[in-house]
Amino acid sequence: GAVVSQHPSWVICKSGTSVKIECRSLDFQATTMFWYRQFPKQSLMLMATSNEGSKATYEQGVEKDKFLINHASLTLSTLTVTSAHPEDSSFYICSAGGVSGTGVYNEQFFGPGTRLTVL
């Protein structure tokens, strides 16, 4: 299957700083990338959808000025958590979608996640 990487895998930062998380599709071109957030013992919640070269679409309740998403190429999307606070501590997972190598339409491939801890 297609491979999606995330960097960093974990990050600890002080309150008020900004953190950038990268999501890369390694062996396919991702027309669409998604960012999810998962709090402890909760399921994944979609934060935003980004299409290459256009603005991201945010889900209701997600602050677009706080969670900046850039999808500058077909293999890279970044999520920047600006002025992070302890309540932003969570597990952030990206996925990349398109047509998979097996020809399945709409299949998404997930990165390994980034654990963010804001002190």
Q: Which residues bind other proteins (CB under 8 A)?
A: 1, 6, 32, 34, 42-46, 49, 91, 93, 95, 97, 104-113, 115
Residue at token pair 């990165």 = 111
Considering the complex, what minimum distance in angstroms separates the CB of residue 4 from other proteins? 9
Smaller CB distance to other proteins: residue 53 or 112?
Answer: 112
Smaller CB distance to other proteins: residue 1 or 16?
Answer: 1
Considering the complex, what minimum distance in angstroms separates the CB of residue 112 from other proteins? 4
Phi, psi for residue 52 in degrees, rounded to 5: -55, 125
Pairing mode, strands 10-13 and 90-99: unpaired
CA–CA gap between residue 41 and residue 57 (Å, rounded): 26
